Structure 1
Amino acid sequence: MSISRHFVLAAGGTGGHMIPAYAVAKELTARGHHVALVTDARGAKIPGIFADMQVHVLPAGRLQGGPVGWLRGGKAILAGRAMAMRLYETFQPTAVVGFGGYPALPALLGAISMKIPTALHEQNAVLGRVNRLLAGKVDAIATAYPIVGKLADKHAGKVHLIGNPVRAEVMALRDEEFPPLTDESVFRLLVTGGSQGATVLSSVVPDGLALLPVALRRRLQVTQQCRPDDIEKVRATYADLEIPADLSTYIEDMAEKLNWAHLVIARAGASTIAELTTAGRPAILIPLPSAMDDHQTANVREMVEAGGARSIPQARFTPVELAKQLQKMAMEPGALANAAKRARACGRPYAARDMADLLESIGQAPIMNDPLRTTPPAPSTLTLQGVPA
């Protein structure tokens, strides 16, 4: 018989941290557990996720800005830690897991102080700053890539290759066929800059599409996410080009749009790549050059080497370069369908399940990830702090 437990998930306020946390939260609740989210004000406002779960907003100071900034950030972290500990006294979590971002820091520090089992999940191919600070103190580290930069060798014994959890509706695309594409059919293009948007995509993509041969351009249909400041200009450009375009500032039905698309042009955030490789969609990826430790460039490496994507550094991401790459992918027979298969081969679609397994057995025997298993595991006979699993 399974036993309901309490888990706290702590995540920073961007989609890259929040979406994997949400996917794991849904898996845990489906198993009968109770889940609470700790985040910041930004995370609490992201639409479409955590609406049906406990959400606690804690102060999340940043250790930056010189001595004055460090002092201010330190005070906020200590205040958040105290609030987290009060939450744990009443919620009594079995484990606390951090998904990165500064809001995870006080939550995990509170759990460590109270000797509650802890874990980290790193979405990127380079260990983030907060996860670096805590890697030596937690009980388990889950990674999304086989090789993770800035992860010390001394922590290898508690590292589990999990992948990036995706939402169930994206997972369902795993069983869908790549949409048919012929020389005469509509060519569907999805453009997204992640939860924060990307002005460079609004600047370059419409002008790049304008350079395509007329026969290809007339087949285009575009769905694009734009920043609020960019959307009307982009709309006018597509109207002048007579390219049908559905524009919005945030794409809530991402799974539906992925299922619809033949090709995706996007930033190289970890959640974006996880969704592309789960669904099996080819992409042109533009890593964010200001990302800490250039982690988006590291994120694309596996997918590019497999042949599922092309990566263009932002400094070389021009309308001419985009048009050239698009023509290569769109006009070679079978190229996009082949790239879709290669992208899918990089996917780790059971990441949410495996992360839930890890949390249920934290501090016990290591999880054995079976990529062929498609059903939930049988109830475990392991124990956690004396409580049967």
Structure 2
Amino acid sequence: MRISKYFPVAFIYFFINSLGLPFGLTYTALLSPLLYIWVVMVRKRDVLWPFLLALTPVMLIHLSMGVDVNSYFISLVNMVLVYIFCQAVYAFLIKCDHKEIIFRQLLIINFICCLIAIPLFFTPYYDLLWAKQFLTTGVYDFRRLCLLTYEPSYYALLFTPLFFFFLLQLLFYRNTINGWLLLVMLLLPLVLSFSLGVISAIIAAILVTATVHYKTFLRNKRFMNLVGLAGMVVIAAGVVGLIFFPDNILFVRISNVISGKDPSGKGRTFEAFWLAGQLLEKKSYWWGIGPGQIKILGFDLIRDYYGYGYDTTHVAIPNAAAETLAIFGWVGLVVRIGVECFFFVYTKVWRNYYRLLLFTFIFIYQFTGSFITNVAEYVVWIIAFTPVFREFDNPGN
């Protein structure tokens, strides 16, 4: 098997980025100085000063309003490190000619890890690869796959670019892995992570992409067969579940979501925006409260609202869009959405099936989870806006 020179960093990013490190710190952040030097060498120009220049007026506004300086600049440095990693990802995408090989190696290793995790689930050492969490009202200490990441939904988000890439390979007869085995390799991680937010956004992205390119997908035999198979499996599983297992975890979660009794779903969506609004009242609706200030101004509010214990040391708003609103105000949120829409049009995302799937997925997901320095989210955005996966271009555009 050919090993790319880029594979070690890809492996670190996907599997062990936060392993053994304090919360919030990653190995990609620690590697940022080296990545910055590499980006400058590849791009032949400095990429950092425009970002710092754009941050300067916002920083001056925040400082003039008053902030906890230590927390502010620590968070600001973290944002800069995330930005450098994002530039490295973009440079990798335009420089590497064998991205598919790296994707396939990650997929295979991930599948092997899933197979190892399954028997481990039934042992006292399950917590090495599984997280035991509160899931929804009535379901406590539920085990979900996270491998060596810190959280199951983050692991599912990491996996999404691989899922879409190899799903399209399968649909367009480009797969080099047996079709049924590939389906298992794609579905098993999502099922075991039980991240309904990620899975729902994936389904929505597939529906939007299939609708936009309906002529292509309606004529695609594999796509129609998979849709039919998925429909039959869902119906059969639903009937069996209703008759024999009416109190199963999935039904309980869906029932709680519909009835408004699911604190996890509410906490990651509209309640996150309510919390952001409460924080904006303390500083500025236009410019927000500033980086690093959520834990200063909102610690007690968020801890008490979500019912965290008094031994809690870290709080956050579990929604990237809502966190952007809290930190940078309505100006920041409008700029965020505006930049996304601009690059959607500028890079003609709709002309490529893979990029449209990723864009639709992450555009939806940012309103249901994630956080403002989530490198996994930015990797999805960067792939969506970088026109390098030409094999998935719509030939009619």
TM-score, with structure 2 as normaliser: 0.25
**Greater relative CO, 1 or 2 (CA 8 Å, sep 6+):** 2
Structure showing the higher helix proportion among its residues: 2
Q: Which has the higher strand share?
A: 1
